[in-house]
Amino acid sequence: MKVTQVNVYAKRLAMTAGYNMSSAAVGDPETTVVKILTDTSHVGWGEICPTGPLPQVEHAQSIQADLGLLGPALIGVDPERIGLVHDAMTAIMDGGHGARSAIDIACWDLLGKAHNRRICDLLGGARMDPVSTYHVIPIGTPETSAQLAETLQAEGHTKLQLKSGGRHVDEDIDAIHAVARVTRPGVDLFVDCNRGWTVSETLLVSQACRDLKLVIEQPCATYAECATARKHLHHPLILDESATDLATIARAISSGVADGFGMKLTRIGGISGMRAIRDLCHATNTPTSCDDSWGGDIIAAACVHVGSTFHPHLSRGAWISDPYQAKHYDDLHGPRIVNGTIAVPPGPGLGITIPDGYFGSPIASYA
């Protein structure tokens, strides 16, 4: 199999519900979709969708510019030899992890289709199907946060992520206590600040909530700040935005800075990068999730396939943006949340079918 053409599409993902965190509210993000055509009947799909408008390393326009460099380099390469695909991309540019991740996902999709196997089977097999997920409770009043927590638990959710930060810590503390009071036995509560607290604020919150069963996720802006706070916390610490690569994750585990991770698939090289992190976390008995910042059915399917291969007791879930999306790319098998879980798409590769012309005309094409 050889790559003959790489098409790039842009699509605005309309939202049906609000989503806010410490730094901003999310509003109809622009996703970038990659379609890899080959000298066979198979095509592969990849996707990368930074959450906007937020301060971050990559945005849609920078990712599309990176694909302008990477796309031509893939022509003639065998997409089933994914290691060599990465070598070809490395020979062209440093960085560009979002664009590389989208290409990596498309190559795994092709590999599965070529061998009539699901991606999760190529990764060793699904240990969970359906896959557990967690649901976000956006920043709000203690009353509205607790009410949503009760609703989500009634719907079958066993993992809740309460957003915090961007306001006085007393408001966060009140919301945390309110949600903790209604959290049922067997339900996990994660307080995710998305880098919104200082070290001192993190310590104040942990002290004020020291008798509550919860996990604090990425409270501070940098790895160093989180490491400083970690020494004085009364709760486990999860790294998210600071978990940027395999070396950093290995250091966080060995030094005791992190008790687990909230991993983003397209931050660390796509399915290939997430496979390496999965194996490291399994070897060190470290919990992690398999998420992404945002995206449609392509991203969601990739996260669910990889997430299904985690040991259940080490899985923090596979988050997808399905509850906020106006529609699916694949109306039948697009991943969706039912009773707090997500079924793995059944077909080969990613297991989803994109209708012809769904994304309109490509914004760029390389052949």
Q: What is the pLDDT of residue 215?
A: 98
The answer on pLDDT for 24 being more than 70 is no
- The CATH number that applies at residue 81 is 3.30.390.10
Q: What is the pLDDT of residue 73?
A: 97
Of 26-30, 98-102, 318-322, minimum mean pLDDT range: 26-30
* Spatial contact of 303 and 342, defined as CB atoms under 8 Å apart: no
Residue 20 pLDDT > 80: no
Q: Are residues 154 and 297 in the same domain?
A: yes
> Which pLDDT score, from 0 to 100, does residue 343 have?
97
Query: Is 272 part of a structural domain of the chain?
Result: yes
Q: Is the pLDDT of residue 21 over 90?
A: no
- The catalytic position among 11, 113, 159, 163 is 163
Indicate whether 349 belongs to any domain: no
Q: Evaluate whether residue 351 is within a structural domain.
A: no
Determine the structural domain holding residue 264 and report its residue range: 122-342
Q: Are residues 231 and 87 in the same domain?
A: no
Q: Is the domain of 277 the same as that of 169?
A: yes
Please state the rounded mean pLDDT for residues 176-196.
97
Residues 321, 361, single domain; the answer is no
Region of 195 please: left (phi>0), alpha (psi -120 to 50) or beta.
left
Please indicate, yes or no, whether residues 146 and 40 belong to a single structural domain of this protein: no
Do residue 225 and residue 277 come from a single domain? yes
**What is the mean predicted confidence (pLDDT) over 323-340?**
94
Q: What is the CATH number of the domain that holds 156?
A: 3.20.20.120
Based on the residue annotation, tell me whether 163 is a catalytic residue of this protein: yes
Tell me, yes or no, whether 93 and 131 share the same domain. Answer: no
**Per mean pLDDT, which of 15-19, 47-51, 198-202 is the most reliable?**
198-202
Average predicted confidence (pLDDT) for the chain: 95
Tell me, yes or no, whether 218 lies in a domain: yes
What share of the chain has pLDDT > 90, as a percent?
91
In a domain, 95, yes or no: yes
Residue 18 has pLDDT above 80, yes or no: no
For residues 110 and 133, state if they share a domain: no
> Residue 299 and residue 282: Cα distance in Å, rounded?
23
Q: How many domains does the chain have?
A: 2
Statement to judge: residues 319 and 223 lie in one domain:
yes
Residue 119 has a pLDDT of 98
Predicted local distance difference test score (pLDDT) of residue 22:
65
Indicate whether 186 and 64 sit together in one domain: no
241-275 confidence digits (pLDDT tens): 999 999 999 999 999 999 999 999 999 999 999 99
Choosing from 35, 231, 264, 327, which is the catalytic residue? 264
The whole-number pLDDT of residue 51 equals 82
Active site annotation includes 35 = no
**Residue 229, in any domain of the structure:** yes
What would the pLDDT profile of 93-122 be if each residue is shown by its tens digit?
999 999 999 999 999 999 999 999 999 999
| Same domain assignment for residues 165 and 290 | yes
Q: For 268-297, what is each residue's pLDDT tens digit?
A: 999 999 999 999 999 999 999 999 989 999
* 167 domain residue, yes or no: yes
Q: Which carries the bigger pLDDT value, residue 16 or residue 362? A: 362
Confidence band for 214, pLDDT divided at 50, 70 and 90: very high
Indicate if 59 and 195 belong to the same structural domain.
Answer: no
User: What is the pLDDT confidence band of residue 52, given thresholds at 50, 70 and 90?
Assistant: low
Pairing assessment for the beta strands 135-137 and 159-163 based on DSSP bridges: parallel
| pLDDT score for 53 | 58
Sheet of 260-264, strands arranged across = 135-137, 159-163, 188-192, 215-217, 237-239, 260-264, 288-291
pLDDT of 157 over the 60 cut: yes
Flag whether 347 is in a domain. Answer: no
Burial 297-331 (b: 16+ CB within 10 A, else e): bbbbbbbbbbbbbbeeebbbbbbbbbebbeebbbe
